[in-house]
Structure 1
Amino acid sequence: MVSDGGIHHHAHGEWREPSLSHRTIRFQKGIYADFHHLFLLQAGTAVLLLEPEEQRSLQGPALAYLPPQARCELRMAAGAAGFLIGASPQIMVDAIGDQAESYALRTFSERLWLTDEPRPHAVEETQPLVAGFVRELGDPSRASWMVISAYLRLILMTLWRTGGSEAAEQRGRGGGASILQRYRQLVEIWFRQHRPISDYARELGVTTDRLHSICCGALGRPPVQLLHERVVQEAKLRLERSARTVQEISDSLGFRDPTYFSHFFKKRTGFSPATYRDFARKTEVARSDMLSSGYSDWP
């Protein structure tokens, strides 16, 4: 469990200059074990070694986005050069935010993503953002959490768009699928406001019965359960990955008082918020299914 601290405990970035020999980069080690990484290969070749016994070749210019669960290592050939950046789960939470696109970014951020072929356009758009990320961290006098979070949000949005995910999502909008997707987006924007389901249905232009039918048919749960699951998942993320007090987390999630938040959380998880935080911080259960696990868990 990584607690809040200095920016350099939550982000790193570097430019890898060309070398006369090959180099191996192992991502999941030390304080970077739970980091999300992005490798921008500007020139040369590299090989990404995945588990189990799978490898992918990269030819610059190329991009590789690597979530923590993508246990892998990177081998840069002699002469290869590129940027490597990483961010902790805490910064990812801030970067993804709670806007209409946040659901898509949360899902995207949990998946390994590679450019299957050289895509100069994607690299051209991403490179100045990655370079800015590295430059910000390289100046100790001004390295800012807010700036790093902003760069990371722009990087994720650029990858999501240039990788075709946005277009695929647009194509998938139709009928019930469109309403469900729009409901998810509204939940991302409104879940802290504790609005009734009738407000969501009205905004979507459907009856509450129609919204109930769509959610149950596609996901097997009514819309109110999905909404509550989203609140619980956000609470878990904050309890696991921040140093905020339970009252601060309760306030940030829109609850009228910490006692009501504790009852809400315990009813749906079996733990009080304080007990859950203690449970989550025990290293021997760090990979338990009871933890929030990732951004794409809802639903």
Structure 2
Amino acid sequence: MKNIFSGFAPVAARQTTVHAELFRSGLDDRFLGGLVDFPGRTSQCILVLSGRAYRLKPESEETIVGPAINWGPKSPDTRIKAKAGSNGVIMTLGDATLSNAIGHKPEAATLRLMSAREFTLNLAAKPAILGTITACFDAIFKELDAGQTGMETVIEAQIRIMLVSLWRAGVNEMIEDKSYKAANLTLERFRHLVEAHLRERWPVHRFAAELDVSPDRLHDICSRTLGKPPQRLIRDRLTFEAQALLQRSHQTLDQIADHLGFRSTPQFSAFFKAEVGVPPGAFRKASTQPGDNMTSVQVGSYADWP
């Protein structure tokens, strides 16, 4: 298959947590993506159009023969090597970008479960899926190259199309693992419910009822696994969403407060200041000033979830 990315140079996103890089035919093997990482949990997607690539772990090695796509969490213990003569793309994305791409539609829970696992899908007999994925990467490279307003939104939309295509291709059934711990599955389901009902401001006991566990059991699972009770995880996620809206949208504080389910703007402002240390208006103003360091008022991403 023709390499449709041949006209684009490797470019990293300037504002979004995405890095996409080409690898092309060469005389030597080449290591990929080693210097790219983002805070919190990071995912990596490798599309091999032709040739082969290797995922080298301390005690094992996986060969990806093109055309194929590999998806999974990015691990510091895993190195990616493209064989000489191979062509493809490697994309690294942070959890914020992935979560925005997944969104809050009914299929979001399924996409989140799928994207949290490692899998390789051979595309030799799936030309339609391969065509969709290559078109998505083409659009992503164009956005990264142009760097225009709304770049993040377009890139996230392309990632969502890719994930839905992989879901339709049967990836979920392929990666079923009955040995997956029940506690981990409960945490993933809890996270999906938080994503779907964040703006409805569910109390912890409502989440527990939906998960068919007691509030004490949910508290125990979250605290033992993540070191945080469920209420703290919910507040962290709400704060993260508020920060993203303040930094990336043009909505007023009244609109953001209403969007996030607060009864009033003062209630939202009090919540935000308690979590972040500054009022939302001051946070927005500082985040738009070139050279301003917002580290002191940022909270951790909810990428610490399972």
Is the pair's TM-score, using the shorter chain for normalization, greater than 0.5? yes
57, 60, 63: which is aligned to 2:65?
60
CA, structure 1 residues 216+265, in 2 after alignment: closer, same or farther (shift >3 Å)?
A: same
- The SS at the match of 1:153 is helix
- Residue 260 (structure 2) pairs with residue 253 (structure 1): yes
How much has 1:131 moved relative to structure 2? 0.6
Task: Give runs of aligned pairs for residues 12-23 of structure 1, distance below 5 A.
Answer: 16-23=23-30
Unaligned runs of 5+ in 1: 1-6
**Could you tell me which of 194, 212, 215 is aligned with 2:215?**
212
Unaligned 5+ runs, structure 2? 1-11
Please tell me whether the aligned partners of residues 276 and 299 of structure 2 are also in contact (alpha carbons under 8 angstroms). no
Aligned 8 A contact 1:13 1:133 in 2: no
Answer yes or no: is the 8 Å Cα contact 1:246–1:274 preserved in 2.
no
Contact 1:44–1:80 (CA under 8 A) maintained in structure 2: yes
2:163 alignment counterpart: 156
Q: Distance in 1 between matches of 2:97 and 2:176?
A: 26
Which has the higher relative contact order, 1 or 2, with Cα contacts under 8 A spaced 6 or more apart?
Answer: 1
Amino acid corresponding to residue 176 of structure 2 in structure 1:
A
How far apart, CA to CA, are the structure 2 residues paired with 1:57 and 1:179?
29
2-structure distance, mates of 1:78, 1:94? 35
**1:230: Cα distance to partner?**
3.0
Give the deviation of 1:38 after TM superposition: 1.9
Q: 2:299 aligns with which of 271, 291, 298?
A: 291
Map 1:98-177 onto structure 2 (within 5 A): 98-99=104-105, 102=108, 113=118, 115=120, 119-120=121-122, 124=126, 127-137=130-140, 148-156=155-163, 162=171, 167-168=176-177
Aligned: 1:79 with 2:81: no
Report deviation, 1:191. Answer: 1.4
How many pairs were matched up?
A: 276
RMSD over aligned CA atoms reads 5.1
Segment of structure 1 superposing worse, 266-275 or 184-193: 266-275
The amino acid of 1:292's aligned partner reads: G
Q: CA deviation at 1:226?
A: 4.3
- Which residues in structure 2 correspond to 1:172-251 (within 5 Å)? 182-196=189-203, 200=207, 204=210, 211-220=214-223, 224-238=231-245, 242=248, 244=250, 247=253, 249-251=256-258
The alignment partner of 2:85 has SS state of coil
Shift of 1:215: 1.3
Q: 1:166 to 1:102 in 2, by over 3 A?
A: farther
Secondary structure (helix, strand or coil) at the match of 1:168 reads: coil
TM-score by length of 2: 0.61
CA distance in 2, matches of 1:71, 1:237: 31
What code does the residue aligned with 1:60 have? V
Identical amino acids, percent of aligned pairs: 24
Contact residue 36 and residue 88 of structure 1 kept, 8 A: yes
Contact map agreement 1:49 1:56 (CA 8 A) in 2: yes
CA contact (8 A) 1:8 1:137 kept: no
Query: What TM-score, normalized by structure 1, do the two folds share?
Result: 0.62
